[in-house]
Amino acid sequence: MALLKREEWQDFVRDVDWTLTYVDDEAVYPEWFSGTGKVPREAWLAWEEDYKVSYQEYVYTQKEKEASTYAVKAALSRSDTFDHLDEGWKSATKMHFGGVAQVEYTATLAELKMARFGLNGAWRNMATFGQLDELRHNALTTYFGHELVVKDPQYDWTQKTYTTNDWVPISLRTLFDGIMTTSNVVDCALQVPLAFETGFTNLQFVALSADALQSGDINFANMISSIQTDEARHSQQGVATLQILAEHDPTRAQWVIDKAFWGSARAFSALTGPAMDYYTPLEHRKQSYREFMEEWIVDQFVRTIEDYGLKKPWFWDEFMRGLDTWHHSLHMGLWFWRPTIWWRPKAGVSKDERDWLREKYPNWEQTYGDKWDVIIDNVNANNVEATLPATLPYLCSLCHLPCCNPTQSRDGSWRVRNKPLSYDGKTYHFCSNGCRQIWWKDRDNVNHETLVDRFLAGQIQPMDVGGLLNYMSMTPDVMGDDADYEAWTKDYVGRPATGLAVPAGAQA
Amino acid sequence: MSAEVMDAPPQLVPLNAIFSTDFVEILVPVTTANTMDEVAAAVADHVEGKRVRAQPFRKVVVHRGRKLPGEMTVAEAGFAPLDHVAVEYDLEVPA
């Protein structure tokens, strides 16, 4: 018997659906999970994606990817490549492993939700492959990171990070519980495959891969490139869903995409920005974080949403201005609060590195140079203690990152301006207008308390630095410290310095 | 200020604070009995000479756009928990 041609069987195999007789549609696809909203149920029959992968093809392709990724890993495990990697680059990988490995598992749950409650057979089919993808990413990332634990205990946070109460994973859980865990599948498809994967994972998996290769970390580049090939496929659920929602309920489509884009932009400014502009050795940097964002995110995102009749988000100007500040401020925050993180942040402000920062970010020196200079002078005065924290940064009630975004005054100076909101008898503080606006509109969905909230509520005992570190599961063997103080302070040794903190025990 | 407020034992008042040109808002706990000079010192302790170079001027607490006198207490100023304060150098008054 002659085999049927692909186009003769594809649609009816992939689009197989139930004809419900014993229960109604709402019982199988409840609104709170499936979220059709104003979209007529029959409109979802038009849901379509271009990959049209069969299970057999999926398995063959994935088998090849796995074999090649693990073959490279096996070959490199016999070399001493890792031992010669720059400590700053290793920090970029520790951030990635800890920040990503278990998020991939949360993404598995999101894909499973779409595989069950998606409103079209083709969608559910695509999401079934998507959940297998995410499970692979979770396993791959966990395994690659875990193998390095013998060389450095900080890699243990690959597996550990996401379930701790460290302030960084609390921030990540707030974002991903919002877009992956608690969303209905229509919102999930717009927030995860579209805003997060089509947009931002490109930044982490393609752009960071380029930096990895430049830094000589072939193993890491190999791992994340393999993952990205899956993202390109299953992220198609985003535009397929957008096409239908934008036609029937463009206001909802705009809002859902806008807030996921904003949340992702905040998270990546912490996760990717410092890795690109400070941790990657200067000679290995391909582009600045801002340049990567403009090339990989900004142009593509705007093109995509405009293709479907949507507009740039209301926060666009604030977001674009933030490309010059958000990640620089977060880098300084991560560095100053380094005992609370599981990598060794490299300050990255030697004279050559500052030249590069000034070239890429013309306002960098005016905004950050004065503060780094005081820190440098304290290190050179043998007063490292003055560069360590004794209180918490105030954390934004939406993104849970420190409130540290400066804006320029009319006189040219850069200042952090307070953005409060009083609601239900309590004062909340936000890092940005975007976070405040999204929190206000979405306030019934926000369910994580910031570390500051927990501290003030007495959930962290004793209420001191030791109690905080213990609450965050931070132990002395993994606690972050600068990778190499001398590397970025030696250029400034011997210069006159005034107005420094008086070392503890010394007379003022 | 009422007699009740004056007689009450000091209460903890956590503040959202920023010092001068620093890059981040921080959590600083004070009490209702602290004066503005003490609040300014508590905020400065985390930042001055550590991220912002110390200057030889008096430090002043700014709350809701008002510069508050150094001897005024937190209770008198009416600070609520989680209020925001800025601590600025008063460039016209030497320390």
Domains within chain A, CATH numbers bracketed: 61-76+85-492 (1.10.620.20)
Dump pLDDT digits (tens) for B9-43.
Answer: 899 999 999 999 999 999 999 999 999 999 999 99
Nearest-neighbour CA in chain A from B94: distance (Å): 14
CB-based burial label for A114 (10 Å; 0-12, 13-18, 19+)? buried
Cis, peptide link before residue A462, omega less than 30° from 0:
yes
Q: Which residues of A touch B53 (CB under 8 A)?
A: 370, 373-374, 498-500
CB-based burial label for A287 (10 Å; 0-12, 13-18, 19+)? middle
Q: Do B21 and A499 touch (CB under 8 A)?
A: no
Tell whether the model's pLDDT for residue B5 goes beyond 60: no
pLDDT value for A447: 74
Tell whether the model's pLDDT for residue B7 goes beyond 70: no
Whole-prediction pTM: 0.95
Distance (Å, whole) CA A284 – CA A295: 19
Residue of B nearest to A336 (CA): B51
- The helix (H) or strand (E) run that includes residue A333 is helix A326-336
The answer to whether B69 touches B1, Cβ cutoff 8 Å, is no
Q: Which of A124, A123, A128, A119 is nearest to A26 (CA)?
A: A119
pLDDT value for A273: 95
Tell whether the model's pLDDT for residue B8 goes beyond 80: no
The answer to whether A378 touches A347, Cβ cutoff 8 Å, is no
pLDDT value for A242: 96
Q: Which residues of B touch A502 (CB under 8 A)?
A: 49
pLDDT value for A229: 86
- Considering CB atoms only, which of A406, A418, A426 is closest to B23? A406
Among A377, A418, A449, most B C-beta atoms within 10 A, so best to mutate, is: A418
Q: Which of A195, A186, A228, A240 is nearest to A51 (CA)?
A: A240
The answer to whether A293 touches A264, Cβ cutoff 8 Å, is no
Residue A142 region, left (φ>0) first, then alpha (ψ -120 to 50), else beta? alpha
Size of interface A-B (CB pairs under 8 A): 102
Of 3.30.50.10, 3.10.20.270, 3.90.1150.10, 3.40.50.300, the CATH number of B3-94 is 3.10.20.270
Handedness of CA A99, A100, A105, A108 (dihedral sign): positive
Nearest-neighbour CA in chain A from B72: distance (Å): 23
- Considering CB atoms only, which of B28, B48, B82 is closest to A427? B82
List the domain boundaries for chain B.
Answer: 3-94
Nearest-neighbour CA in chain B from A333: distance (Å): 8
- Considering CB atoms only, which of A375, A394, A502 is closest to B51? A375
Tell whether the model's pLDDT for residue B87 goes beyond 70: yes
pLDDT value for A5: 82
Q: Do A418 and B52 touch (CB under 8 A)?
A: no
Give me the average pLDDT of each 10-residue run along chain A (508 residues).
Answer: 79 80 95 97 93 90 94 84 90 94 96 97 94 96 94 96 96 95 96 89 78 88 89 89 97 96 96 93 92 89 92 96 98 98 97 98 97 98 97 97 96 94 95 97 85 96 94 96 96 97 77
Q: Do B24 and A332 touch (CB under 8 A)?
A: yes
Distance (Å, whole) CA A443 – CA A461: 28
Paired with B73 in beta bridges are: B35
Q: Do A455 and B50 touch (CB under 8 A)?
A: no
pLDDT value for A233: 85
